[in-house]
Chains A and B, each alone.
Chain A
Amino acid sequence: MTATTLLWPIVFPAAAAIILFLIPSRIKVVREVLAVLSSLVVLYLGFSLFSQKNLSLVTDWLGMGINFDLRLYHFSSFILLALSGFLFLICLYSAVKMKDHPRVREYYGYVFLAAAFSNGAVLANNFILLVFFWEALLITTYALITLGLKPTSHRTAVKSLIIGGFCDFSMILGIGLLWASTGTLTMDKIHVEPHGLAAAAFILMMIGAIGKAGAMPFHTWIPDAALDAPVSFMAFMPASFEKLLGIYLLARITLDFFELKVGSTLAIILMIIGAATIVLAVFMALIQKDFKKLLSFHAVSQVGYMILGIGTAIPIGIAGGIFHMINHAMYKCGLFLSAGSVEHRTGTTELKKLGGLSREMPWTALGFTVCALAISGVWPLNGFVSKEMVFHGALETGYPIFAIAAWVGAIFTFASFLKAGHSVFFGARSTDVPKTKESEAPIVLPILILAALCITFGVYNKLPLQTFIQPILEGHVEAGEHLDFTAHALSLFNPVAAVSILCLIIALGIHLYGWNRSGKKAYLASEPIHQLPGLRKLYDLSEARFFDLYEQGVKLLQWLSKVLFRFIDRPIDYLYEKVVTAVGRTFTGILQKAHNGQYANYLAWTIGGLVVVIWIILQLLK
Chain B
Amino acid sequence: MVIQILLLCGLIIFSGLAILFKDLLKAALSLAVASLFLGIIFFRLNAPYAGVFEISVVAGLITVLFILTIALTKKEGEVEEAKLAKVVFPLFFILFLIIDGLVMKSLLQKVPSLPSGPEAGTFGEVLWKQRTFDLVAQIGVIFAGVLAVLALFRKKEDDKDE
Give A residues with C-beta under 8 Å from B: 587-590, 593-594
Q: Which residues of chain B come closer than 8 Å to A588, judged between CB atoms? A: 88, 92
B89 touches A (CB below 8 Å): yes
Is the beta-carbon distance between B92 and A594 smaller than 8 angstroms?
no
Contact with A along B13-51 (1 / 0, CB 8 A): 000100110000000000000000000000000000000
Q: Would you call A593 and B85 a contact (CB within 8 A)?
A: yes
- The reply to whether B20 and A594 contact each other, CB–CB distance below 8 Å, is yes
Q: In the assembled complex, how far is the CB of residue A388 from the closest CB belonging to chain B, in whole angstroms?
A: 81
Q: Beyond the given A588-B88, A588-B92, A590-B20, could you list 12 further A-B residue pairs with CB under 8 A, ordered by the A residue number?
A: A587-B88, A589-B82, A589-B85, A589-B88, A590-B16, A590-B82, A590-B85, A590-B89, A593-B82, A593-B85, A594-B19, A594-B20
Which 10 A-B residue pairings sit nearest by Cβ, starting from the closest?
Answer: A589-B84, A590-B85, A590-B89, A594-B19, A588-B88, A590-B88, A590-B20, A589-B88, A589-B82, A588-B92
Show 20 residue pairs from A and B whose CB-CB distance is below 8 angstroms, ordered by the A residue. A587-B88, A588-B88, A588-B92, A589-B82, A589-B84, A589-B85, A589-B88, A590-B16, A590-B20, A590-B82, A590-B84, A590-B85, A590-B88, A590-B89, A590-B92, A593-B20, A593-B82, A593-B85, A594-B19, A594-B20
Residues 57-93 of chain B, each 1 if its beta carbon lies under 8 Å from chain A, else 0: 0000000000000000000000000101100110010
Interface of B: prevailing SS: helix
**Chain A residues whose CB sits within 8 angstroms of the CB of B19 once the complex forms:** 594
Residue of B nearest to A594 (CB): B19
CB contacts (< 8 Å) of B89 on chain A: these are 590
Contact partners of B85 in chain A: CB under 8 A: 589-590, 593
Q: Tell me the bound Cα distance from A100 to B20 in angstroms.
A: 75
Q: In the complex, what residues of B have CB within 8 A of residue A590's CB?
A: 16, 20, 82, 84-85, 88-89, 92
How far is it, in angstroms, between the C-alpha of A588 and the C-alpha of B20 when the chains are bound? 12
Number of A-B contacts (CB under 8 A): 20
In angstroms, Cα B89 to Cα A593, docked, is 12
Most buried by B among A587, A588, A589, A590: A590
Query: How many Å lie between the Cα of A587 and that of B92 in the bound state?
Result: 9
* Residue of B16, B82, B84 ringed by the most chain A CB atoms within 10 A: B84
Residue of A nearest to B92 (CB): A588
Chain A residue numbers with a CB within 8 Å of B92 are 588, 590
Q: Which of B16, B82, B88, B92 has most chain A Cβ within 10 Å? A: B88
Q: Collect the chain B residues with CB atoms within 8 Å of residue A594's CB.
A: 19-20
Across-interface contacts of B20 in A (CB, < 8 A) = 590, 593-594
- A585 to chain B: closest residue by CB: B84
Contacts of B82 in A (CB 8 A): 589-590, 593
B residues less than 8 Å from A589 (CB atoms): 82, 84-85, 88
Query: What's the Cα separation between A588 and B84 when bound, in Å?
Result: 8
Question: Chain A's nearest CB lies how many Å from the CB of B113?
Answer: 19
Interface positions of B from 76 to 112, Cβ below 8 Å from A: 82, 84-85, 88-89, 92
CB distance from B109 to the nearest CB of A (A): 16
Query: CA separation between A593 and B81, bound complex, in Å?
Result: 11
Cα–Cα, bound, A593→B82 (Å): 9
Chain B nearest CB, measured from A52 CB (Å): 65
Report A580 CB to chain B, min CB distance, Å.
Answer: 16
* Complex: chain A residue closest to B22, CB-CB: A593
The answer for the CA separation of A327 and B13 in the assembled complex, in Å, is: 88
Q: Give bound CA distance, A590 to B83, whole Å.
A: 10
CA distance A589 to B20 in the complex (A): 10
Nearest A-chain residue to B83, judged by Cβ: A589
CA gap between A587 and B87 in the complex, in Å:
10
Complex alpha-carbon distance, A291 and B33, angstroms: 89
Q: Please name the residue on chain A nearest to B87 by beta carbon.
A: A589
- The CA-CA distance from A587 to B82 in the complex, in Å, is 14
Cα A589 to Cα B84 in complex, Å, equals 6
- Report chain B residues within 8 Å CB of A587: 88
Q: Which residues of A contact B88 (CB under 8 A)?
A: 587-590
Q: How far is the CA of A589 from the CA of B88 in the complex (A)?
A: 8
Residues of B near A593 (CB, < 8 A) are 20, 82, 85
Separation in Å of the B97 CB from the closest CB of chain A?
16
Shortest B40–chain A CB gap in Å is: 26
Which residues of chain B from 99 to 141 have any CB-CB distance to chain A below 8 Å in the complex?
Answer: none
